[in-house]
Amino acid sequence: MQSRTVWAVLEDTAAKYPDRAALQQPLGAGKYRSWTWSEYASIVRQVAMGLRAMGVAKGEIVALASETRAEFYLADQGVMACGAIAAALYTSLPPAEQAKALRASGARVAFAETEASARALGVEGIRWILLTGAAAGYETLESVRAEGQRAIAADPSAFERIRGEFNDTDHAILYMTSGATGEPKMGLVTHRAIVTNLDMGPDVLPLSPDDCTIAFLPSAHIAQRVVVELLPAHDGACVWFSEGLSKLPNEMRSIKPTFFLAPPRVWERVYSSITVEIRKRPAPVRSMFYAGVGLGSEAARLRQQGKSVPLWMRAALRFFDRIMFAKIRQRLGGRIRVAASGAAPLGKDLADFYAAIGMPLIEGYGLTEGGIAALNPLDRPKSGSIGKLLPGYEARFEDDGELLLRSTCLFSGYFNDPAATASVLRNGWLATGDIAEMDAEGYFYITGRKKELIVASNGKKIYPSRIEALLKREPLISHVLLIGDRMPYVTALLTVTGPLAAAQPAVEQAVKTANRELAEFERIRKFKILDREFSIEQGELTPTMKLRRNRVLENHRELVNEMYVGREAG
């Protein structure tokens, strides 16, 4: 099979759609700077040649410290096109943690969004390239491009020689893991692993130059990097960049994306704003809304089971769609044909709601070490499921239910950490750390994390994620941490959106409702609502908004101890 690199993917797309829009970077006041696919590829060649002129060698790690923006894409692709390895930092982490990761990577050259972001990291010995702006003592993206253009003009065959120095077995990306269950690690991924994953796209997520999306997730995360940067480069879809979460609602309405990837937290916020509004409406309106959602949920259930929706139900749903559901979808632009949820588990009830209003969330499953491994079929997604394996993936289960994967898309290993690599790569199989199960139709379900398993003092095993998902059906609840390992009963720490006093009754009801669906040993006996959200700054959340359980327990030890005073028998 012919060797294909990440650059070859971009080159092919630029040849097919040279004049179609590829990237749209906001300039403020509703204006955008646009790049075509031809311009995109040309700039990447220039950056690659410019980096080589700076002395960046094949296999050398080049870091990127920037929010997600068009210039990041240009630099990221340029690094890979010159045979170097691109390592994006999680810019939401405190500067000290970013600096630690930068030093650990061994990078000598790094891109920074601004002079201020470069200075904030304070790492000596780095040759900085600014993606925006200019300052004394710094290279700029434009100066690197100019150097590359001079090199190409002096020797038109130079770039072809450089691309011939590496192939798809060489490393392209160094992913920084977010460290939800321990100290962050760095995962090396080859061109072959990435391109093989991208080539699976048309079978499960077909995109074209007529599609567009909005990029706002951190580019250090694999979901953003693969699905919103590299997959559009594979299929020719246009990427618009967001100015930030606060601007995202307006951007959705103006840009009207056709596919959109967001973590569950974003979908939860949309749902929460809708339910808060509905609660303020007169009783007849509330009744009609809930009746429509109920009917839509039943229709979605029938579709998930492969059954036809009765004619009378389709007619009723057209009515509800016209007066309610279409207006909700219009908030998100009204053109979304693929609404995807990734980066964290999606609650079944949240998935049921979006399916009911005619915009089913397509949940998938991916991880730094394994690529994008599963996705729900667009024509028949199942709520609560991560979908079916992508073509080219195999799966098996350990005796304890842990999911193992095998594929060309697996990572090569952790950077400078053979022991950690050996702990997850076992004879070609990746131990994911996720407890999972599969139904008769080949749909997979994640039921818990192996490292987050709670074993009560009576020996009963409890998987927190299922219970936490039950509680988060209440839209006011933002995060839940279940506690009970080696303890006689289960407790919980919760955070809420909005004033604590107003949320208290709703949380109490959510706990009671969840407990009715749980076994006796799983039920929450006590809980505490914090007076603030969990935060990245306090070390309680990863950059992808996953809870760091150990840090939360450390930060709130006194509250936890209060819930176990007396330790009633379980």
- For 137-153, the pLDDT digits (tens) are 899 999 999 999 999 99
Asked whether residue 454 carries a pLDDT value surpassing 80, the answer given is no
Distance CA(337)–CA(340), nearest Å, equals 10
Distance of CA 148 to the CA centre of its chain: 33
Quickly tell me which residue has 């569950």 as its tokens. Answer: 264
Highest mean pLDDT among 239-243, 500-504, 507-511, 565-569: 239-243
What are the start-end ranges of the H helices in 256-310? 264-280, 283-304
Residue-wise DSSP of 12-80: HHHHHSTTSEEEEEEEETTEEEEEEHHHHHHHHHHHHHHHHHTTPPTT-EEEEE--S-HHHHHHHHHHH
Residue 198 contacts residue 230 (beta carbons within 8 Å): yes
The amino acid present at 284, given as its one-letter code, is P
Which is more confident, 544 or 85? 85
User: What kind and span of H or E run contains 328?
Assistant: helix 326-330
Report pLDDT for 85.
Answer: 98
Asked whether residue 568 carries a pLDDT value surpassing 60, the answer given is no
- What are φ and ψ of residue 523, in 5° steps? -70, 145
Distance CA(320)–CA(329), nearest Å, equals 13
For residue 136, the 8-state DSSP code is T
Q: Looking at 138-286, which runs of residues are DSSP E strands?
A: 139-140, 171-176, 186-190, 212-215, 238-241, 259-262
Distance CA(488)–CA(10), nearest Å, equals 57
Average pLDDT over residues 317-333: 89
Mean model confidence pLDDT for the chain: 88
* pLDDT 10s digits, 177-202: 755 445 668 999 999 999 999 999 88
Residue 70 contacts residue 23 (beta carbons within 8 Å): yes
- pLDDT band with cut points at 50, 70 and 90 for residue 488: confident
Least confident window among 157-161, 180-184, 284-288, 450-454:
180-184
**Residues 6 or more apart in contact with residue 382 via CB below 8 angstroms:** 304, 376, 443
Distance CA(496)–CA(204), nearest Å, equals 36
- This prediction has a pTM of 0.84
Report pLDDT for 183.
Answer: 61
Highest mean pLDDT among 406-415, 475-484, 525-534: 406-415
3-class secondary structure, 246 = helix
